[in-house]
Amino acid sequence: MFKPVCRQTVRQLRAASRCQNVGVTKRYMHAPLAFDWKDPLGASNLYTEDELAIAETAESYCQERMLPRVLEAFRNEEYDRKILEEMGELGLLGATIKGYDCAGVSSVASGLITRAVERVDSGYRSGMSVQSSLAMGGIEEFGTEEQKERFLPGMAKGKILGCFGLTEPNHGSDPGSMESVAKPHPTKKGYYSLSGSKTWITNSPIADVLLVWAKLQQTGKIRGFLVEREKCPPGTLETPKLGNKNGLRASITGMIQMDDIPVPHENMFPDIEGLRGPFSCLNSARYGIAWGVIGALEDAIARTREYALERKQFKGNPIAKYQLVQKKLADATTDAAYGILAAYQVGRLKDEGKAAPEMISMIKRQNCDRALVNTRTLQEVFGGNAVSDEYHIGRHVSNLFVTQTYEGQSDIHALILGRAITGIQAFC
Amino acid sequence: MFKPVCRQTVRQLRAASRCQNVGVTKRYMHAPLAFDWKDPLGASNLYTEDELAIAETAESYCQERMLPRVLEAFRNEEYDRKILEEMGELGLLGATIKGYDCAGVSSVASGLITRAVERVDSGYRSGMSVQSSLAMGGIEEFGTEEQKERFLPGMAKGKILGCFGLTEPNHGSDPGSMESVAKPHPTKKGYYSLSGSKTWITNSPIADVLLVWAKLQQTGKIRGFLVEREKCPPGTLETPKLGNKNGLRASITGMIQMDDIPVPHENMFPDIEGLRGPFSCLNSARYGIAWGVIGALEDAIARTREYALERKQFKGNPIAKYQLVQKKLADATTDAAYGILAAYQVGRLKDEGKAAPEMISMIKRQNCDRALVNTRTLQEVFGGNAVSDEYHIGRHVSNLFVTQTYEGQSDIHALILGRAITGIQAFC
Amino acid sequence: MFKPVCRQTVRQLRAASRCQNVGVTKRYMHAPLAFDWKDPLGASNLYTEDELAIAETAESYCQERMLPRVLEAFRNEEYDRKILEEMGELGLLGATIKGYDCAGVSSVASGLITRAVERVDSGYRSGMSVQSSLAMGGIEEFGTEEQKERFLPGMAKGKILGCFGLTEPNHGSDPGSMESVAKPHPTKKGYYSLSGSKTWITNSPIADVLLVWAKLQQTGKIRGFLVEREKCPPGTLETPKLGNKNGLRASITGMIQMDDIPVPHENMFPDIEGLRGPFSCLNSARYGIAWGVIGALEDAIARTREYALERKQFKGNPIAKYQLVQKKLADATTDAAYGILAAYQVGRLKDEGKAAPEMISMIKRQNCDRALVNTRTLQEVFGGNAVSDEYHIGRHVSNLFVTQTYEGQSDIHALILGRAITGIQAFC
Amino acid sequence: MFKPVCRQTVRQLRAASRCQNVGVTKRYMHAPLAFDWKDPLGASNLYTEDELAIAETAESYCQERMLPRVLEAFRNEEYDRKILEEMGELGLLGATIKGYDCAGVSSVASGLITRAVERVDSGYRSGMSVQSSLAMGGIEEFGTEEQKERFLPGMAKGKILGCFGLTEPNHGSDPGSMESVAKPHPTKKGYYSLSGSKTWITNSPIADVLLVWAKLQQTGKIRGFLVEREKCPPGTLETPKLGNKNGLRASITGMIQMDDIPVPHENMFPDIEGLRGPFSCLNSARYGIAWGVIGALEDAIARTREYALERKQFKGNPIAKYQLVQKKLADATTDAAYGILAAYQVGRLKDEGKAAPEMISMIKRQNCDRALVNTRTLQEVFGGNAVSDEYHIGRHVSNLFVTQTYEGQSDIHALILGRAITGIQAFC
């Protein structure tokens, strides 16, 4: 139904990248002069034609295939793992990775994919982020060549699902204090024995390969391990689902309980030690979140605008005529437009190797904060009707709160920025 | 288990009210000098001993009997109608009404009851408000003596459940445009025939008596009708439940679909015409909301404080040590304290006949807004854990958003106040 | 021209207080039912008749005598010390002090005086606060009987001006680190020698008696000293004016530079040691600020309302018709009404000996913050005209910013509250 | 002292523009990877080398020559007209105009100039904006060739000063209702007679040529007139200074009072009629404001950061260590970074002919709002010291409030955006 544009663009992009000057942005030529509330500051002028084509593929898929599933998924906390398979068919997973059957697109293109997915639901985007940025991204950046070849092609197709185990029950904002540990396996030679527990792990209950971070007993340093579910002896790995969530209900979240799992040495990442590894993966994921949440906000704007034009009160005027309603729309539209430009800028810098981690802290934090604040304000326009999930706005609000708290709660990123600005640590 | 203090206090209060100077507040004498974060501005000094006793009864019941039910109720959108019966046994329903087996307590006492209930859940408070303020309050204020005697005693006991049908699908903030109509019944003499539909009606699916507002065809004026479910011929009354709500899930909400219901003349309120009737009922309910939402906020404060003291990050410090956390707690505590004083003041004025409707607009709006804003901010303290419903904070956030939009969305009350301040109407 | 109502009321109040039950508030009986934007939650119902009479005297004086002077004073940074003399004639200085020719009124009455003064200008109120709460209040609370008799009657009349020297150039929020010191005088027996410097001291350039806090060398403990300007040998005391302020320009502010001032032993406060002394004075001043800033906010509301009704744009509609303008007025009016109730409550508790210092932190912080935020928002209504000082609103905005930062910046009070709520110190 | 880089760059830029693909941005290649709080999202990567050189010239001039004058200018409301002459010498006036001795730089370069000036003072930037965008820009866009040649070269050098007369005393946000009128002169043939009054006109008291908008009596349409002061008969033109401003005190503002000024026909703009003319000029000025206010915010950030690092409280810790301080810096830095990217994007689109007026409304509004809000928050870090004008922060706060209200108050732009988003007019 959808032609996998990304696959096609792989070749195009590779060809293009050979002759392309890094840093030269080809602007889309035919933007209209008129103001477009869907793209208020003309960001579409900044994308390459390939990027626009990829965005279109992603948008079509998301609106036509994902959107119809989301209400039931959210109501019942059910995640359809086929979604990742479908995305894999379109080349949307691990899309920035070059080689290994991945599309090798620009960071901006991957941002546009993310935005398209989160326009439908932040939970769906979370499921994809984990697969693409955290699991595949981690393997691509830190894995051995053998690990990459073993996992990435299947993951790109959505046949092998991954997850990312960093956060522990008692160590949310402070993963350096983690308690999970890898010791030499007492009986199996060439194996580590992995124990500990992780929580709030998106996709853990359905993951085939779990990228788990644990301290290597010998060194006390954090290392990355690829745990293959089907190779775990019974009783060593449990990944119970965490239900009764009040947000991201269309994604699946769970724990990872590890009780002396034997993991072969060749499943450990070879060189990376300490928090640099997981933080680098998180950086990629956060970059995606910065794009994604604007998608959710844009959906909220579109739905609110439509509601305000249709809803009539007091002498038959649409409530879109009220100043208080227009101001909410103006504020939200502004923040969406600004958020896209900032995410775009960091995307381009990322591909040029110039994106400092604090830049990503900044856009992750600001875009999540503004998406949340504005979506909440827009929700007011729906009055009492907002309580019905069929208007979708409440779902975005619930989801966006979670995006503000995960992968670095807003205040944590504020202090990361504060440290970068002042040179002084304030996590006392 | 709980002695029905309210029944006792009926007599005490009546006795007291005989010798009490209106306007003279007996202060509670033994307040501690030390700052109490649960009562930061010493409001407990303002309550009479009777009021304090009533508050204690209500608090005990709510914490011991209601709280254990709320998680499941919210998850499954199930309302246990026994709750109203239990509250009836304790004398908590229609508590300000004098006579008809009601407790006849002060408006402040009823506010304290409301706060205790909403400390558990805004949905439970909504269920009670509808019974007490909207249905019983309406009958007491506008009903004939016969209507009062027929309904109020059973309603006070929670044996007869009521609801309040004003809002229609296309007329939320503007009930004056309602389409429900009462015509002379074509066949049954002495009866009206009631048709139309109402939506977002708390308790409608379980109500025994439905107070419905409709336009009397002869005059075009809005009148109030008491529709008794068991007397409705089959097919004339449907009250389908509205599910899939994203807030107030522990209350039950539905529509009222009326198709030529025959209603005897004696079930119409005798004198009241126009919007003055329903607005007066709403005023009472809004007054209760102003107290209630502070209860929810106070619960959020207590839970956040506890979490912040227990949750340790970065070198084992409780996160309560962080300035950013303390500021959130300070802000929330301040707004809770201010909100109580304002609600208290309007309560006293109400009993003295001095409470202008705009005062109630003001406290309903401000307390809902501040409860919502602060609870959202407190939720951030829970970080990723906030997503689990077991921390209760997410439930309060969802609920409080609804309280901000119903019975007058915040902006509507802003414009009511704006009109009172400037003399100019801005609902254009 | 103005009869000194306060003098009269001294007697009345003393008589009244003999038979008055502490904690029993006599409500003013004839409040109108209609909503009054100047008193939105009917606070005037709470004041005694004496309090209302005092408020009226103060309001008349301020509007008729102070207001005409303020524009020039603010423009030129000139303070007319006659103002304190005039206030003294009316009995408005040190008004809560019993005896020593002071009025002995309730804390609520003194709050109403403060509000009346700050309705004109926060700088004028600062000048009065320093005289009444900091200087006279300090002497009354901690002075010897001889000190009280020597200074208070003249200060009550505004003949002797006082100031309060606590803050030092390098120790704003942290006075415990002060460097001013009192040593035994090397040559004069029975004298201390006082050295050090204080800054941002309201009234210091015109003060006759300077209450200065310094560390007693022998003990290292902070003590209070009454420095009489006319008795200081030349060259030992300088009180240069600090000009070029961007707020409180109608008050006079300076430094206190002390270079071996000889101060007789009998001018030291007898018992009080440490920060408890100055903090107690500051508490009283802060209580007054909490009332005062609402006066400034109320003036801003009244001026904005008037401007919005007179200013016409787009087809001759007054801008008061715009929803965005009405919302600003509704918000401001609400915060003013809430702020008064909170200040009132703490005032009553204060007179009952039940006001914890954190309560005063709470109302000082919240009322300053809300007065500032709302006045800034109201200023927007004036559009480009706001830049002219003749609309007065810009002056309030500049002043209110200063009130938010002095006597405990907002964040400092947040952390004081945070400590009281959590039990944990966050001034790391 | 400063070499007029702009003159040099004129030639370079013209050469460059011949071979440059519109829409292709040459990125600056050597940006550091490390996070730079002065350029948090790496915007300097986006400027051409010419733009960077222009920015540097402007920054040097502003910091070395303007900054030392600003405190006295602000205190005394004195504007040194030599500033415009100096800027003219450096080629900074009317810099985007091609020909007529103007530099012909890109809109981004002119934005960088504006930012450099407003980093010192919004008043200085206002003086420049009026000369460059409003007066010169108007002549360049709508003037006859003769008018351009007569005025532009002298204006570019700062020898001829211009101003822009649109706003009238009773018509701030609604210039369409203006009352100024041009009639055929009763006695002088070939002349119009101009009457009416304008207010809040930056530079009017010192302007040599006044671009005045008035209704042509014959058509009732608004037309533009170039009024030359030295040719006005005595008594026909008065331009009194408006003093006692609470912001932009370093700029000079006045009225234009016209009493039958004879203006030759050749001084009227030839074709432009209605509000399109002045609005187009305002659009350019607003574009500049969007850059400028970020300069002021950046200065506030730098000063706050420095103060926070130097100011020590509580055990000698710099207050930069406090979480509450770091959060303020993080927020402000984020908004500055976002604001620059948005202004940059609109600048590029402007040069490509793709900038819709609503885009400029959006960036003018948002950047002014955020600059104001953040600078106010940063001011809190200075505590009581903020009141002294020597910290400069209070001056920025006062100025930025004015920028938020002039050339379209924030709410007006919100409604312009609201109309563009919904298609419905809400200026009722």
Mean pLDDT of chain C: 92
Chain D residue with CA closest to C171: the answer is: D313
Q: For residue B116, is pLDDT > 80? A: yes
What DSSP element (H or E) covers B227? strand B221-228
Catalytic residue numbers of C read: 407
The dihedrals phi and psi of D160, each to the nearest 5 degrees, come to -110, 125
Q: Is D168 noted as a catalytic residue in this protein?
A: no
Looking at residue B428, what is its pLDDT?
67
Residues recorded for chain D: 428
For chain B, positions 255-294, list CB contacts with chain C under 8 A. none
Chain B residues touching residue D322 (CB < 8 angstroms): 323
Q: What percent of chain A has pLDDT over 90?
A: 87
Higher pLDDT among residues C230 and D27, named by residue: C230
Chain A residues touching residue C322 (CB < 8 angstroms): 323
DSSP state of C386: G
Task: Let me know if D146 is exposed, middle or buried by CB neighbors in 10 A (0-12, 13-18, 19+).
Answer: exposed
Asked if the Cβ–Cβ distance from A29 to D45 is below 8 Å, we say: no
Distance CA C71, CA C86 (A): 19
Of B26, B322, B358, the CB nearest to C426: B322
**pLDDT tens over chain D, length 428 residues:** 454 544 454 444 334 333 333 333 333 334 446 899 999 999 999 999 999 999 999 999 999 999 999 999 999 999 999 999 999 999 999 999 999 999 999 999 999 999 999 999 999 999 999 999 999 999 999 999 999 999 999 999 999 999 999 999 888 778 888 999 999 999 999 999 999 999 999 999 999 999 999 999 999 999 999 999 999 999 999 999 999 999 999 999 999 999 999 999 999 999 999 999 999 999 999 999 999 999 999 999 999 999 999 999 877 889 999 999 999 999 999 999 999 999 999 999 999 999 999 999 999 999 999 999 999 999 999 998 999 999 999 999 999 999 999 888 999 999 999 999 999 999 86
Cα–Cα distances (Å) from D91 to D55, D57, D120, D134, in that order, read 12, 10, 18, 17
D403 contact C CB<8A: no
Asked if the Cβ–Cβ distance from B359 to C419 is below 8 Å, we say: no
Looking at residue C30, what is its pLDDT?
40
Looking at residue D4, what is its pLDDT?
52
Distance CA D115, CA D111 (A): 6
Nearest C-alpha of chain C: how many angstroms from D409? 6
For residue range B135-170, what is the model confidence (pLDDT) as tens digits?
999 999 999 999 999 999 999 999 999 999 999 988
Chain A residue with CA closest to D346: the answer is: A41
Higher pLDDT among residues B15 and C344, named by residue: C344
User: Model pTM greater than 0.90?
Assistant: yes
Q: Which of C41, C287, C373, C415 to mutate to test the interface with B (most CBs of B within 10 A)?
A: C41
Asked if the Cβ–Cβ distance from A428 to B314 is below 8 Å, we say: yes
CB-based contact D271:D221 (threshold 8 Å): no
Q: Partners for D (CB, 8 Å, 3+ pairs)? A: A, B, C
Chain B residues touching residue A70 (CB < 8 angstroms): none
Chain C residue with CA closest to B359: the answer is: C41
Looking at residue B223, what is its pLDDT?
97
- Structure tokens given for C357: 């210092």
For residue range B40-76, what is the model confidence (pLDDT) as tens digits?
999 999 999 999 999 999 999 999 999 999 999 999 9
Asked if the Cβ–Cβ distance from A314 to B398 is below 8 Å, we say: no
B324 contact D CB<8A: yes
Chain A residue with CA closest to C328: the answer is: A324
Average pLDDT over residues A205-214: 98
C276-422 folds as: Butyryl-CoA Dehydrogenase, subunit A; domain 3 (1.20.140)
Q: What percent of chain A has pLDDT over 70?
A: 92
Catalytic residue numbers of B read: 407
Q: Is the dihedral of CA D270, D274, D277, D278 positive or negative?
A: positive
Q: In this complex, how many residue pairs, one in chain A and one in chain C, have their CB atoms less than 8 Å apart?
A: 9
Distance CA B108, CA D428 (A): 42
What DSSP element (H or E) covers B316? none
Instruction: Please determine whether the domains at D163-267 and D276-422 fall in the same fold group of CATH.
Output: no
**Strands D191-202 vs D181-184: parallel, antiparallel or unpaired:** antiparallel
D24 contact C CB<8A: no
Nearest C-alpha of chain B: how many angstroms from D385? 22
- Domain edges within chain D: 43-160, 163-267, 276-422
Q: What angle do CA C29, C32, C35 make, to 5 degrees?
A: 135
Asked if the Cβ–Cβ distance from D324 to B322 is below 8 Å, we say: no
- Structure tokens given for A285: 């994921």
Chain C residues touching residue D387 (CB < 8 angstroms): 200, 245-248, 253, 402, 405
Of D170, D317, D402, the CB nearest to C428: D317
B43-160 folds as: Butyryl-Coa Dehydrogenase, subunit A; domain 1 (1.10.540)
Residue D260, number of CB atoms within 10 A of its CB: 16
Q: Which of D59, D140, D298, D407 is catalytic?
A: D407
For residue range C401-424, what is the model confidence (pLDDT) as tens digits?
999 998 889 999 999 999 999 999
Higher pLDDT among residues A174 and C185, named by residue: C185
CB-based contact D113:D50 (threshold 8 Å): no
In this structure, which CATH number among 2.40.110.10, 1.20.120.550, 3.30.420.40, 3.20.20.70 belongs to the domain A163-267?
2.40.110.10
**Residues A75-114, buried b or exposed e (16+ Cβ, 10 A)?**
eebebbeebbebbbbbbbbbbbbeebbbbbbbbbbbbbbb
**SS3 (DSSP) at C163:** strand
Chain A residue with CA closest to B426: the answer is: A322
Nearest to C115 by CA among C161, C76, C61: C61
Chain D residues touching residue B326 (CB < 8 angstroms): none
Looking at residue B14, what is its pLDDT?
39
Average pLDDT over residues A30-49: 87
For chain D, positions 327-366, list CB contacts with chain A under 8 A. 327, 329-331, 333-334, 337-339, 341-342, 345-346, 349, 352-359, 362-363, 365-366
Nearest to D89 by CA among D174, D19, D166, D154: D154
Average pLDDT over residues C362-387: 97
Nearest to B287 by CA among B115, B43, B162, B50: B115
Nearest C-alpha of chain D: how many angstroms from B380? 15
CB-based contact A211:A223 (threshold 8 Å): no
Asked if the Cβ–Cβ distance from C405 to D383 is below 8 Å, we say: yes
Of D24, D34, D420, the CB nearest to A37: D420
Q: What angle do CA D221, D226, D229 make, to 5 degrees?
A: 135
